[in-house]
Amino acid sequence: MEGHGAWRPTRLRLIVCLATLAALALAACGDDDGAGNPGTGNPDTAGASGSLTVYSGRSEDLIGPLLNRYEEATGVDVRVRYGDTAALAAQLLEEGSRSPADIFLAQDAGALGAVEAAGLLAVLPADVLARVDAAFQSAGGAWVGVSGRARVLVYSTQRLTQEELPASIVDLVEPRWRDRVGWAPTNGSFQAFVTAMREIDGDERTARWLRGMIANGVKEYPKNSPIVQAVADGEIDVGLVNHYYLHRFLAEDRNFPAANRYTDPGAAGALINVAGAGLLRSSPNEPAALRFLTYLLEPEAQRYFAQETNEYPLIAGVAPGPGIPPLATLQPPSLRLTSLADLRGTLNLLREVGALP
Amino acid sequence: MSLLTGLPARAQRFPPRRRGPAFVWLPALAVAGAMAIPLVYLLVRAAQADADAWRDLTRDSTLTLLKNTALLALAVTAGSIALALPTVWLTVRTDLPWRRFWSVVMVLPLVIPSFVGGLAFVAALGPRGSFQRLLEPLGVESLPNIFGFEGAWLALTLFSYPYLLLTLRVGLRGVDPALEEASRALGAGPWRTFFRVVVPQLRVPLAAGALLVALYTISDFGAVSMLRFDTLTRAIFVQHQSSFDRSAAAVLSLLLVALVVVLLTAEALSRSRGRYYTSGAGSPRPPRVIRLGRWRWPATAFLALVAIAALGVPVGVLLDWLVRGLRAGEPFSGIWSAAWHSLSVAAVAGTVAAAAAIPVAIVVVRRRSMLAALVERLSYFGFALPGIVVALSLVFFSLKVVPGLYQSWAVLIFAYLVLFFPQALAGVRAAMVRIKPSVEEAARGLGRSPPWVTATITMPLLLPGLISGFALVFLTTMKELPATLLLAPIEFDTLATKVWLAADEAFFARAAAPALLLIALAAIPMALLIGRDKQIRD
Q: Return d(Cα B403, Cα B406) in angstroms, integer.
A: 5
Residues A290, A291, A292: CA angle, nearest 5 degrees: 90
Task: Give B146's DSSP letter.
Answer: -
Return the pLDDT at A90: 94
Interface probe, candidates B220, B234, B351, B491, chain A, greatest A C-beta count within 10 A: B491
Q: Return d(Cα A55, Cα A78) in angstroms, integer.
A: 10
Residue of B nearest to A28 (CA): B344
Q: Is a pLDDT exceeding 60 seen at residue B17?
A: no
Whether residues A343 and B470 touch (CB distance < 8 A) is answered with: no
Q: Is A100 on the interface with B (CB under 8 A)?
A: yes
Residues A321, A327, A330: CA angle, nearest 5 degrees: 125
- Nearest neighbour of A86 by CB, restricted to B241, B491, B492: B241
Q: Give A142's pLDDT tier (boundaries 50, 70, 90).
A: very high
Name the residue among B483, B395, B480 with its Cα closest to residue B37. B395
Return the pLDDT at A325: 93
Q: Is a pLDDT exceeding 50 seen at residue A175?
A: yes
Show residues of chain A in contact with B528, CB under 8 Å: 14, 17
Return the pLDDT at B469: 87
Beta bridge partners, A53, equal: A79
pLDDT tens figures, A55-72: 999 988 889 999 999 999
Beta bridge partners, A121, equal: A280
Q: Return d(Cα A191, Cα A193) in angstroms, integer.
A: 5
Q: Name the minimum distance, in Å, from the CA of A50 to any CA of chain B.
A: 16
Q: Name the 3-class secondary structure at B222.
A: helix
Q: Is A308 on the interface with B (CB under 8 A)?
A: no
Show residues of chain B in contact with A82, CB under 8 Å: 485, 493, 497, 501
Q: Is A84 on the interface with B (CB under 8 A)?
A: yes
Q: Is a pLDDT exceeding 90 seen at residue B332?
A: no
Name the residue among B243, B166, B237, B249 with its Cα closest to residue B202. B166
Q: Return d(Cα B85, Cα B161) in angstroms, integer.
A: 10
Residues 203-222 of A with CB under 8 A from B: 220, 222
Q: What's the pTM value of the predicted model, to 2 decimals?
A: 0.87
Size of interface A-B (CB pairs under 8 A): 199
* Start-to-end Cα distance in chain A: 56
Q: Which position has the higher pLDDT, B109 or A11? A: B109
Whether residues B392 and A91 touch (CB distance < 8 A) is answered with: yes
Residue of A nearest to B66 (CA): A357
Q: Return d(Cα A313, Cα A306) in angstroms, integer.
A: 6
Show residues of chain B in contact with A214, CB under 8 Å: none
Task: Give B140's DSSP letter.
Answer: -
Burial of residue B141 (CB within 10 Å: 0-12, 13-18, 19+) is exposed
Question: What is the average per-residue pLDDT within B253-278?
Answer: 81
Q: Name the minimum distance, in Å, from the CA of A238 to any CA of chain B.
A: 15
Whether residues B439 and A222 touch (CB distance < 8 A) is answered with: no
Name the residue among B495, B515, B513 with its Cα closest to residue B338. B495
Question: What is the average per-residue pLDDT within B240-246?
Answer: 86
Q: Is A23 on the interface with B (CB under 8 A)?
A: no
Average pLDDT, chain B: 85
Instruction: Examine the predicted complex and report whether its ipTM is higher than 0.95.
Output: no
Q: Name the minimum distance, in Å, from the CA of A37 to any CA of chain B.
A: 6
- Whole-number CA gyration radius for chain A: 24
Whether residues A229 and B506 touch (CB distance < 8 A) is answered with: yes
Q: Is A81 on the interface with B (CB under 8 A)?
A: yes
Show residues of chain B in contact with A193, CB under 8 Å: none
Whether residues B122 and A226 touch (CB distance < 8 A) is answered with: yes
- Nearest neighbour of B243 by CB, restricted to A29, A98, A347: A347
Return the pLDDT at A33: 39
Whether residues B242 and A188 touch (CB distance < 8 A) is answered with: yes
Return the pLDDT at A236: 94
Interface probe, candidates B241, B342, B434, B463, chain A, greatest A C-beta count within 10 A: B241
Helices B149-174 and B114-125, axial angle in degrees (round to 10): 130
Q: Give B403's pLDDT tier (boundaries 50, 70, 90).
A: very high
Interface probe, candidates B170, B395, B490, chain A, greatest A C-beta count within 10 A: B490
Residues A215, A219, A223: CA angle, nearest 5 degrees: 135
Q: Return d(Cα B407, Cα B404) in angstroms, integer.
A: 9
Q: What are phi and psi of A273, to 5 degrees?
A: -90, 165
Q: Is a pLDDT exceeding 60 seen at residue B79?
A: yes
Q: Is a pLDDT exceeding 60 seen at residue A29?
A: no
Q: Give B6's pLDDT tier (boundaries 50, 70, 90).
A: very low
Interface probe, candidates A8, A17, A31, A60, chain B, greatest B C-beta count within 10 A: A60
pLDDT tens figures, B272-294: 556 666 555 455 566 777 788 88
Whether residues A94 and B460 touch (CB distance < 8 A) is answered with: no
Give the number of C-alpha atoms closer than 13 A to the C-alpha of residue B138, restricted to the C-beta side: 8
Residue of B nearest to A20 (CA): B347
Whether residues A343 and B395 touch (CB distance < 8 A) is answered with: no
Q: Which position has the higher pLDDT, B53 or B156? A: B156
pLDDT tens figures, A305-343: 999 999 999 999 999 999 899 998 999 999 999 888 888
Q: Give A13's pLDDT tier (boundaries 50, 70, 90).
A: low
Return the pLDDT at B414: 96
Q: Is a pLDDT exceeding 80 seen at residue A23?
A: no
Q: Is A90 on the interface with B (CB under 8 A)?
A: yes
Which helix (H) or strand (E) segment holds residue A231: the answer is helix A224-233
Question: What is the average per-residue pLDDT within B193-211?
Answer: 84
Q: Is a pLDDT exceeding 70 seen at residue A14?
A: no
Q: Name the minimum distance, in Å, from the CA of B464 to any CA of chain A.
A: 9
Q: Name the minimum distance, in Å, from the CA of A231 to any CA of chain B.
A: 10
Average pLDDT, chain A: 87
Show residues of chain A in contact with B482, CB under 8 Å: 87
Show residues of chain A in contact with B226, CB under 8 Å: 222
Whether residues B490 and A3 touch (CB distance < 8 A) is answered with: no
Q: Name the minimum distance, in Å, from the CA of A284 to any CA of chain B.
A: 16
Q: Is A95 on the interface with B (CB under 8 A)?
A: yes
Return the pLDDT at A206: 97
Show residues of chain A in contact with B490, CB under 8 Å: 37-38, 53, 79-81, 100
Show residues of chain A in contact with B416, CB under 8 Å: none
Residue of A nearest to B241 (CA): A86
Question: What is the average per-residue pLDDT within A165-189?
Answer: 94
Residue of A nearest to B534 (CA): A7
* Greatest mean pLDDT range, A6-10, A33-37, B514-518: B514-518
Q: Name the minimum distance, in Å, from the CA of A129 to any CA of chain B.
A: 25
Name the residue among B350, B334, B322, B324 with its Cα closest to residue B111. B350
Residue of B nearest to A252 (CA): B328
